[in-house]
Amino acid sequence: MILRLLILFVVLFAMLSVHCANLISEDTAQPNPTAGTLFFKKQVFPILKKRCFECHSHESGEINGGLALDSRSGWELGGDSGPAIVPGETKQSLIIETIRYGNVDLQMPPDGKLPESEIILLEKWVAMGAPDPRRTDPVISKKGIDIEAGRKHWAFQPVRVPKVPDVTETNWPLDEIDSFLLAKLELDQLHPADDTNRYTWLRRISLDLTGLPPTPQEIEAFIADSSDDAYARVADRLLDSRAYGERWARHWLDLTGYADQIGTANKVYAEYGWRYRDYLIDAFNSDKPFNQFIREQIAGDLLPGTVEERAAAITATGFLLLDNIEVGESDKMKLVVDVVDQQLIKVGTAFLGMTLGCARCHDHKFDPISQNEYYALAGIFMSTDSTHKVKYGVWSGIRSAQLPETTAQQTERDLKTQKHNKQLTTWIQTRAAIRKKADALEKESDERKKLEAQIPNLNRNIQHAEFFVPTAPRAYAVGDVEKPSDMRITIRGNPHALGEVVPRGFLKVISYSPPNKIPANQSGRLELANWIASPQNPLTARVTVNRIWQKLFGEGLVRSSDYFGLRGESPSHPDLLDFLAHRFVQNGWSQRKLIRSLVLSRAYRMGGTYNPQAVAKDPENRLLWRIAPQRLDAESLRDSLLLVAGTLQPSSGGPALALEYPENVSGLGPNNVNPPSFHLNKYHPGQKSQRTIYLPILRSGAQPAPAELRNLFDFTQPAEIAGQRPITTVPTQALFLMNSSEIKKRAAELAARTATLDGKPIEPSKRIEKLWLLTYSRPISKEEKAETLNFLNSQTDTQSAWTDLCHVLLASNEFLMRL
């Protein structure tokens, strides 16, 4: 802290121009101006005004770097770099260092050094004790965060248990959810859209829950099922399928920055990343309670459990690590604080719908989160071990941990190791034998050359096998550092410019009960996880149910689903949101139960037809008077193409990168200054026909060929933490659908698989019916049938006519969209 001068100097500023009069307050209580204030008035103020106010005054609207120079308190409090002036101490005053251009990173004014005469005047002024009669402006005094005022925001208030509203159309609701929706519609004299037909509903729920359209058999079974629980049976069948986990795990991955690559440089592979992806699929398939899901991802390494539970929970902490970590950063302190920042941003966005990163350099501009609170949370991650220096050049790696193994796993690994060693020994022996044989031959002989030509390949295999020795299963996982401690503020995120120490803790504005104390010898992640996973936390359940709602109804009840702060959107149905949040917690944080209730609601059965009256009153469908059609996301689109073409291969997970092939890895030599890197030359057998979630994800965002349509159809790039994907329409998508070999291949496969039945050719009209059922999940209409037969007959080449028809179906809106 600097010493404040006790006296407010007083002077009349008769010379000042009118428009600064409001900035320089006069205090007429003390009539005698001192020499200091006169000096300020005559010599200093004109310089400040001319040279600094453009970027550092309220008058100009610019308070760059948080520093205002239009009041005394402005420089006393200083900006992001601390107080600008220490009265009487020129050497310690940042403003003097800055105008002297003493620090190349902070030179003011930026567009050229001041004349020496002006610098001398300012130095003299600071040496005098910086007399400055301008009164403290309350506007810019460092404001504290007003927690009570902050709590007035709807999202920070405790979740209420709202009463289910009464409705007039009592036979419409199937669930309480419907009553909440209908009540609001009735208030605006609107009607929910008529139920859609069963075909559309089945296709909708299948795509939403599994990312795949229903098969003809599934369609027939549902249409034939006239029992009361036909709908529920479908929901349960889908929720029981592995495909459900495969789809919803991908939704979660959008919030993690996941890729099979570490950082963006040099294709450094994340060889254990897939374990986290598989953990997520399992978590959804086993309906892991969401509060446990939170605890495992933030503090799984600190949780007790059986061998399998421990392995899963440790793997879950990959959430904190599988992000865009620039391991090539040469400034290691910067790497550490940047990783902490990423972890904080991710935890804030994914679980709390808050933009915590905004408070890194200053108090949050809109939300009641202080810079100190950022560092209170950051200290928890600062006490967490995430990266470490590796032997290559300037590079770091991300932390991994050995997973507890069951006896069965150990036995399996021993067998694998034996096999591996045997193969390696064989290669080494073969190489030696070849060398020996070759050495015995004449130097330039063809025979010798032929023998020696085998050696490079063997060398590569041996080097690869020596590098990739079978080990116990590992996963990217965090741990606590040896000596957990509180963190110091980093000024503007610069780890070499440190401010005060901030004790670890949580956000006050959403703490309604005293959080558990962080033990001195621990990071505090477990306490953080429990604080987030608490029913008292007003954000966690609301944010989560809103994310699920968004995935089923297209948009969230709160449309800014990643941001519930003051600048976020208000909920369209606040009571419904709280009702769902409360029910979610009551149901043991079960995502499956929540999803089931939503897809079985009456609202989810609505059609999508346009309604001019409803549009006039509610053009954005905020009240949910219909289910709007929606284009499939990249994964659904590709997976559906594979499914209807009959080429989709099942998978039970496993490594995304086929590192076992030597041609896929380079840079294994011991003296490399760069870590080994991967090259996607070869895939696992069948991998290219597996669901998109099993394919490698690259940090560059240029996703590789088997699923390159991700590059065109709004795939969430691994650099983003975003719970909602935009749905964009650009001509390059149309070009893909018109001309790509991918779409043509699928069309040819679809044509081929519908050509015959039990080895006999199908007659055209039956074949068309089958095509419609496969692609549109509904029977073909008469009109369509006539038009299609007409198209087929107009083509000269029958073979290609069918492929062309399939191509058209796969590129058409009814296939591309979920209606």
Partner 1 sequence: MQLRTLLELMLLIFPPKPSESFFCSWGGGPSQPDLFDPKDYIKKMHGQKVTPPIKDHQLRTGVEKFLALAPGVPVRPRGNCGMMISDLMPNLASVADDLCMLRAMQADSKSHPTATLQMHTGVITEARPSLGSWIGYGLGSENNNLPGFLTIHPQADVRTYGSGFLPASFQGTPLTVPKDNNTPAIKYLTDNESDDTKQRSRLKLLQGMNLRLLERYQRDTQMEGIISSFELAYRMQVATPELVDISAESKETLNLYGIGSGPTDRNGKACLLARRLSEAGVRFIQVTIDGWDHHGNIRSALPHSCKGSDQPVAALITDLKRRGMLDDTLVIWTGEFGRSPWSQDLSGTSPIATHGREHQQESFCTILAGAGVKPGITYGETDDFGFLPVAGKVHLHDLHATILHLLGLDHKRLTHRHAGRDFRLTDVYGRVVKEILA
> Buried b / exposed e across 629-654, counting CB within 10 Å, b at 16+?
ebbbbbbbbbbbbbbbbebbeebebe
Q: Is residue 786 a contact point for partner 1 (CB under 8 A)?
A: no
Which of the stretches 212-220, 244-252, 760-768, 790-798 binds partner 1 when contact is defined by CB under 8 A? 790-798
Q: Is residue 728 a contact point for partner 1 (CB under 8 A)?
A: yes
Q: What is the 3-state secondary structure (H, E, C) of 719-739?
A: CCCCCCCCCCCCHHHHHHHHH
Considering only residues 797 to 816 of the shown chain, the ones binding partner 1 according to CB under 8 A are 800, 804-805, 807-808, 811-814, 816
Instruction: Rule CB under 8 A: choose which of 25, 64, 241, 587 binds partner 1.
Output: 64
Q: Is residue 498 a contact point for partner 1 (CB under 8 A)?
A: no
Element (H, E) at 377: helix 371-382
Q: How distant is the alpha carbon of residue 391 from its chain centre?
A: 30
Name the token pair of 66: 């948080």
Cα separation, 312 vs 404, whole angstroms: 9
Element (H, E) at 502: strand 498-502
Which of the stretches 100-108, 141-149, 452-460, 512-520 binds partner 1 when contact is defined by CB under 8 A? 100-108
Of the two residues 354 and 489, which places its CB atom closer to partner 1 in the complex?
A: 354
Shortest gap between Cβ of 694 and partner 1 (angstroms)?
22
Query: What is the per-residue binding string for partner 1 in 335-354, x denoting contact by CB under 8 A?
Result: -------x------------
Q: Is residue 111 a contact point for partner 1 (CB under 8 A)?
A: yes
Shortest gap between Cβ of 791 and partner 1 (angstroms)?
5
Shortest gap between Cβ of 566 and partner 1 (angstroms)?
7
Of the two residues 415 and 734, which places its CB atom closer to partner 1 in the complex?
A: 734
Farthest-apart Cα atoms in the chain, separation: 110
Instruction: Rule CB under 8 A: choose which of 93, 196, 355, 777 binds partner 1.
Output: 355
Which of the stretches 33-41, 110-118, 138-146, 754-762 binds partner 1 when contact is defined by CB under 8 A? 110-118
Of the two residues 8 and 719, which places its CB atom closer to partner 1 in the complex?
A: 719
Instruction: Rule CB under 8 A: choose which of 394, 668, 752, 755 binds partner 1.
Output: 394
Of the two residues 225 and 708, which places its CB atom closer to partner 1 in the complex?
A: 708
Match 């991802």 to its residue by tokens: 297
Considering only residues 642 to 701 of the shown chain, the ones binding partner 1 according to CB under 8 A are 673-674, 699-701
Shortest gap between Cβ of 647 and partner 1 (angstroms)?
19
Q: Is residue 570 a contact point for partner 1 (CB under 8 A)?
A: no
Q: Is residue 264 a contact point for partner 1 (CB under 8 A)?
A: yes
Shortest gap between Cβ of 568 and partner 1 (angstroms)?
5
Q: Are 604 and 181 in contact (CB under 8 A)?
A: no
Q: Which of 333, 306, 302 is nearest to 317 (CA)?
A: 302
Cα separation, 108 vs 674, whole angstroms: 39
Q: Is residue 628 a contact point for partner 1 (CB under 8 A)?
A: yes
Which of the stretches 92-100, 236-244, 258-266, 683-691 binds partner 1 when contact is defined by CB under 8 A? 258-266
Instruction: Rule CB under 8 A: choose which of 6, 14, 110, 189 binds partner 1.
Output: 110
Of the two residues 332 and 766, which places its CB atom closer to partner 1 in the complex?
A: 332
Which of the stretches 107-115, 148-156, 408-416, 466-474 binds partner 1 when contact is defined by CB under 8 A? 107-115
Q: Is residue 265 a contact point for partner 1 (CB under 8 A)?
A: yes
Q: Are 543 and 353 in contact (CB under 8 A)?
A: yes
Q: Are 54 and 60 in contact (CB under 8 A)?
A: yes
Count H helices, E strands: the chain?
31, 16
Name the token pair of 790: 């007409």
Q: Which of 284, 295, 325, 668 is nearest to 468 (CA)?
A: 668
Dihedral sign (CA 13, 19, 24, 27): positive
Helix (H, G, I), strand (E, B) or coil at 564: coil
Instruction: Rule CB under 8 A: choose which of 167, 352, 358, 489 binds partner 1.
Output: 358
CA angle 632-638-643, nearest 5°? Answer: 105
Helix (H, G, I), strand (E, B) or coil at 254: coil
Considering only residues 694 to 723 of the shown chain, the ones binding partner 1 according to CB under 8 A are 699-702, 711, 714, 717, 719-720
Q: Are 639 and 648 in contact (CB under 8 A)?
A: yes
- Dihedral in degrees, nearest 10, Cα atoms 634, 636, 640, 643: 110
Q: What pairs with residue 498 in β-bridges? A: 490
Instruction: Rule CB under 8 A: choose which of 142, 391, 450, 567 binds partner 1.
Output: 567
Q: Which of 200, 209, 247 is nearest to 596 (CA)?
A: 209
Considering only residues 198 to 217 of the shown chain, the ones binding partner 1 according to CB under 8 A are none
Of the two residues 179 and 717, which places its CB atom closer to partner 1 in the complex?
A: 717
Total of residues contacting partner 1 (CB under 8 A)? 88
Which of the stretches 40-48, 86-94, 244-252, 320-328 binds partner 1 when contact is defined by CB under 8 A? 320-328
Considering only residues 731 to 750 of the shown chain, the ones binding partner 1 according to CB under 8 A are 731-740, 744
Q: Are 551 and 545 in contact (CB under 8 A)?
A: no
Considering only residues 359 to 388 of the shown chain, the ones binding partner 1 according to CB under 8 A are 365-366
Q: What share of the chain is helix, strand, coil (3-state, %, to 5)?
A: 50, 5, 45
Q: Are 791 and 809 in contact (CB under 8 A)?
A: no
Q: Is residue 610 a contact point for partner 1 (CB under 8 A)?
A: yes
Cα separation, 519 vs 483, whole angstroms: 12
Shortest gap between Cβ of 320 and partner 1 (angstroms)?
16
Shortest gap between Cβ of 26 and partner 1 (angstroms)?
33
